[in-house]
Amino acid sequence: MRLFILAAVLAVGIAIGVAAPAVTGFVRTTLTTAGLPPSLITFAAGPEAGRPAAGASHAEGDGNDHGKPAVKPAAKPGDGHVEHPPSEAEDEEGHVRMTAEQVRNQDISVVKAEGGTLSRHILVPGTITPDTDRIARVPARVVGTVAEMRKRLGDDVRKGEVVAVLDSREVADAKSDYLTASVKAELEKTNFDRQQALWDKRISAESAFLNAKAVYSEASLRQDLARQKLSALGLNAAEVAKLAKQDETTPNTSTLRQYELRSPLTGRIVERKVDVGTAVGKEGDPSDLYTVADLSTVWIELSVPTSELAKVKEGAGVTVTPSQEGGERHERGKVIFVSPLLNADTRAARVVVALPNKDMAWRPGTYVTAEVEIAQDAVGVRIPKAALQTVEGKRVVFARTEEGFEKREVELGRSDDDAFEVVSGLRPGEEIAVANTFLLKAELGKSEADHDH
């Protein structure tokens, strides 16, 4: 029953408010007495409620104001009124206001968007091998017995350094033949010079001069042949003659039978094949004493499928990473050979990559994964991947402005491991944030949330 009465009173109040706005104070008093809520009283009183009617004095009210000015009700949440003016960060949607000092304090790096190159690549497996141009063996070269082994496995050696000494009858005979021929040639030269002087003075017969000349020529030829034999054995004739003179002062230490083996390159002993006392040089005997390798540069053998072979060019850059788990190391190399032949079994071509190995961390036999560059595309605008953020499902960057940063939607094109091409949304020369951009995204989200409220 009470609800019916309230509804009737409300209807009457609305009709009176429309017909006579000046009596709204009376209507509000009546409705309040009837127990109607204030919100419904305002609605029933019409749009002119709370304002004095035209020509009415400020003393008119609800009968209880006694000449006091009417007080405007305070705005309430949800009634469409804004309590506070918007902050600076909310002035424009998509903008983040930030001073230069704030940018520095938050380590937000800014760079200019510029053109550049995108590198495309393919992934292929590979195996590290020694560089065949930097590996050598130390051969016996003569028949003999190992007298000294001066290097151990793993030792470093320099090119030309003595690594072993052999005791060889073959070497002793070659040295003796040369020394004998040298002495003979020296004597015959002395005799020839004397006979030539006599012949010039016409003191001796011409036949004696010619005979001395022939003998000297023969002795010189024998000396040359003996020198060539020493050279074939890797011996220096001048050093042999010098050692022979030293032997004259130390008759108990002969160097005639000693044959020194030297390292053919600078590197490391990676293999030792004989021990002291081992016979070498004959058929069936070990032919090498050491293997020396320079591993400062290694090779990577890649097997590239025929479908990708046309894309791989000599000189292309290669990034190499270990295939084992936890291999974070990577190194840059270069393709030095692409075989024109295919493996009959695998139908793949041999591709060789030269890889620097200064710290000797890349060991031959290790399996690796190689990223081989197959193309380089020039683009008008290239930005690092760290500059991109996703806002409401769209890819954006933050362009630098005088007040801070502006959210900029971009359309992306081609990409590589580090960067994207920007097709539209960003012009060359514009400055963008490329580090700690997530901080700008968070600030943008807070600003838009405050703006919505």
Q: What pLDDT band is residue 28 in, cutting at 50, 70 and 90?
A: low
Structure token digits, residue 255: 């160097």
Residues 266 and 157 in one domain: yes
Query: 418 with 435: CB under 8 angstroms?
Result: no
Mean pLDDT to the nearest integer, 352-361? 91
Residues 71 and 183 in one domain: no
Which of 109-113, 323-327, 372-376, 425-429 comes out lowest in average pLDDT?
A: 323-327
- What does the angle CA 25 – CA 26 – CA 29 come to, to the nearest 5 degrees? 90
Mean pLDDT to the nearest integer, 428-443? 86
Q: How far apart are the C-alpha atoms of 187 and 184, rounded to whole Å?
A: 5
Query: 369 with 126: CB under 8 angstroms?
Result: yes
Residues 6 and 114 in one domain: no
Question: What pLDDT does residue 251 have?
Answer: 62
Residues 1 and 68 in one domain: yes
pLDDT at 51 over 70: no
Single-letter amino acid, residue 45? A
Residues 10 and 41 in one domain: yes
User: Highest mean pLDDT: which of 48-62, 101-115, 127-141?
Assistant: 127-141
Q: How far apart are the C-alpha atoms of 292 and 153, rounded to whole Å?
A: 10
Domain assignment of residue 14, yes or no: yes
Q: Which of 290, 308, 338 is the last residue of a domain?
A: 290
Strands 331-342 and 317-322: antiparallel
Mean pLDDT to the nearest integer, 27-42? 50
Q: How far apart are the C-alpha atoms of 166 and 228, rounded to whole Å?
A: 20
Domain assignment of residue 88, yes or no: no
Domain assignment of residue 177, yes or no: yes
Element (H, E) at 417: none
- Label residue 382 exposed, middle or buried (CB < 10 Å: 0-12, 13-18, 19+): buried
Q: What pLDDT band is residue 112 in, cutting at 50, 70 and 90?
A: confident
Residue with token string 């320079």: 294
Q: Which of 374, 395, 419 is the last residue of a domain?
A: 374
Residues 318 and 370 in one domain: yes
As a whole number of angstroms, the longest Cα–Cα distance in the chain is: 173
pLDDT at 169 over 50: yes
Structure token digits, residue 145: 């017995």
Q: How far apart are the C-alpha atoms of 19 and 188, rounded to whole Å?
A: 155
Give the sheet arrangement for strand 288-293, strand by strand. Answer: 135-139, 288-293, 267-272, 156-157
Q: Which of 338, 358, 374 is the last residue of a domain?
A: 374
Q: How far apart are the C-alpha atoms of 78 and 133, rounded to whole Å?
A: 83
Domain assignment of residue 127, yes or no: no
Residues 246 and 306 in one domain: no
SS3 328: coil
CA distances from 25 to 29, 33, 58, 66, 318 (A): 6, 12, 12, 13, 88
Domain assignment of residue 357, yes or no: yes
Which of 343-347, 361-365, 394-398 comes out lowest in average pLDDT?
A: 343-347
Q: How far apart are the C-alpha atoms of 100 and 387, rounded to whole Å?
A: 18
Question: What pLDDT does residue 368 have?
Answer: 92
User: Highest mean pLDDT: which of 62-66, 105-109, 330-334?
Assistant: 330-334
**What CATH number has the domain bearing residue 448?**
2.40.420.20
- Residue 260's DSSP bridge partners are 165
Mean pLDDT to the nearest integer, 113-137? 89
Q: What pLDDT band is residue 29 in, cutting at 50, 70 and 90?
A: low
Q: How far apart are the C-alpha atoms of 113 and 388, rounded to whole Å?
A: 12
Which of the two residues, 90 and 94, has the higher pLDDT score? Answer: 94
Number of domains in the chain: 5
Which of 83-97, 375-389, 399-413 comes out lowest in average pLDDT?
A: 83-97
Residues 245 and 277 in one domain: no
Residues 286 and 145 in one domain: yes
- Label residue 253 exposed, middle or buried (CB < 10 Å: 0-12, 13-18, 19+): exposed
Residues 123, 345, 336, 333, CA torsion sign: positive
Query: 44 with 27: CB under 8 angstroms?
Result: yes
The domain in which residue 385 lies consists of: 95-119+378-452
Determine how many CB atoms are found less than 10 A away from the CB of residue 141: 19
Which of 130-134, 256-260, 320-324, 387-391 comes out lowest in average pLDDT?
A: 320-324
Residues 228 and 303 in one domain: no
CA distances from 164 to 26, 91, 134, 152, 334 (A): 125, 85, 20, 11, 37
Q: How far apart are the C-alpha atoms of 164 and 157, rounded to whole Å?
A: 12
**What CATH number has the domain bearing residue 333?**
2.40.30.170
Instruction: List, for residues 236-252, the tens digit of each pLDDT value.
Output: 888 888 887 776 666 66
Domain assignment of residue 129, yes or no: no
**Residue % of the chain over a pLDDT of 90:** 25
Which of the two residues, 398 and 448, has the higher pLDDT score? Answer: 398
Instruction: List, for residues 332-343, the tens digit of each pLDDT value.
Output: 999 999 988 888
**What CATH number has the domain bearing residue 141?**
2.40.50.100
Question: What pLDDT does residue 35 have?
Answer: 54
Element (H, E) at 226: helix 206-232
pLDDT at 6 over 90: no
Residues 198 and 71 in one domain: no
**Residue % of the chain over a pLDDT of 70:** 75
pLDDT at 84 over 50: no
Query: 144 with 281: CB under 8 angstroms?
Result: yes
Mind giving me the DSSP string for 159-175?
A: TT-EEEEEE-HHHHHHH
DSSP 8-state assignment for residue 400: E
Mean pLDDT to the nearest integer, 432-438? 86
Residues 177 and 240 in one domain: yes
Closest CA to 143 of 169, 163, 165: 169
